[in-house]
Amino acid sequence: MSRQKLRYPLRYPWVDLDVDDRSAPVIAVCVDADGTKGEVPEHRHRKGQLVMSLGGGVTCRVRSGLWMVPPHCAVWIPSDMPHSNRATANARLFFVYIEAELVDLPDRCCTMSISPLLREVIVELADGTPHDEARRERLIAVLLGELPLMRVQHLHLPLSREPRLKRIAAVLADNPADRRTLAEWADHVALSESSLARLVVKETGLTFGHWRQQLYLIVAIRELAAGASVQRVSADLGYESVTAFITMFRKALGKSPAKYLGSIARET
């Protein structure tokens, strides 16, 4: 597994920036998608990484789960944690690399809202325009002080290394509209229905129904952030009606899809 060297269509000419070769305690870069969906293969780096989205969406996959980053949010990836990133075609991302001992953040992934103040600090640090060292240190101090205060968003899908659950997760990730029942999935992986139900709870902490719903939510938010209509997302997830999809979304997150994405933008 490689350590990351940036090879993206960056706004600024840091195409071959190796973040772990740089001694700077904080490095921030802006990444604009090139109009196509893209995925960065699994990699890791010594510094912790904050992935912030200002447009579009990105999913970050680690071996224990999938984390969704809608617009105006970010995901924290601790240092040396293997991960991959998948961005929507309209994504505008900021990657912030931080020496782990400098910031009081969890040793696990988490998605968080980003306040307007912190967002502007990150944008300024990634600007590429040379700053005097004293000003840069002040911006970094605000960044490190504000990050631990950000509100956590529950946009996480637990994943398991258990081979049978990995098979189910892979199929559903490729085709979320697959509506096989728990009994049908149990037959598919040669388990009884009760055994599969217990295995899912043991490995993920969720019932099969809640685990699959969480996948639906992550896919839905990613596609809506990419500009897809509620009607299209509903159909892609296999819902019989738009109303049924909106009802599921509202029960899970407390708001309709449009209001949920709008509220993130207003709160941050």
Domains of the chain as residue ranges with CATH: 2-153 (2.60.120.280), 160-267 (1.10.10.60)
Tokens representing 159? 């994943």
Q: For every one of its 268 residues, what pLDDT tens digit does the chain have, with 9 covering 90 and above?
A: 444 444 444 333 333 456 666 678 899 988 876 655 567 788 888 899 999 988 887 888 888 898 888 888 899 999 999 998 888 877 888 999 999 889 888 888 999 989 999 999 999 998 866 667 888 899 999 999 999 999 888 788 898 889 999 899 889 888 888 999 999 999 999 999 999 999 999 999 999 999 999 999 988 988 888 888 999 999 999 999 999 999 999 998 888 998 887 776 555 4
pLDDT of residue 265: 58
Whole-number pLDDT of residue 236:
92
Contact by Cβ (8 Å): 71, 53: yes
Q: Cα–Cα distance between 250 and 257 in angstroms, integer?
A: 7
The whole-angstrom separation of Cα 13 and Cα 131 is 17
Distance (Å, whole) CA 259 – CA 250 = 10
Residue 91 tokens read as 């994504």
CA distance 120 to 104: 20
- What backbone torsions phi and psi does residue 238 show, to the nearest 5 degrees? 85, 15
Chain centroid to Cα 28, Å, comes to 18
Q: How far apart are CA 154 and CA 110, in angstroms?
A: 8
What backbone torsions phi and psi does residue 5 show, to the nearest 5 degrees? -115, 125
The CA–CA distances, whole Å, from 27 to 6, 14, 38, 41, 127 equal 12, 11, 22, 21, 11
Cα dist from 151 to 146, 209, 243, 256, 264, whole Å: 11, 27, 30, 20, 11
pLDDT at 125 (0 to 100): 92
Whether 160 contacts 178, CB under 8 Å: no
pLDDT for the residue numbered 195: 97
What is the longest distance spanned by two Cα atoms in the chain?
65
What is the reported pLDDT for 268? Answer: 47
Helix, strand, coil proportions of the chain in percent (round to 5)? 40, 25, 35
According to DSSP, the residues that pair with 93 across neighbouring strands are 31, 53
Distance CA 202, CA 82 (A): 23
Backbone angles phi, psi at 56, to 5 degrees: 70, -155
Please, is 225 exposed, middle or buried when counting C-beta atoms within 10 Å of its C-beta (0-12, 13-18, 19+)?
buried
The number of beta carbons lying within 10 Å of the beta carbon of residue 94 is 20
Task: Please report the pLDDT score of residue 88 as a whole number.
Answer: 80
pTM for the structure as a whole? 0.78
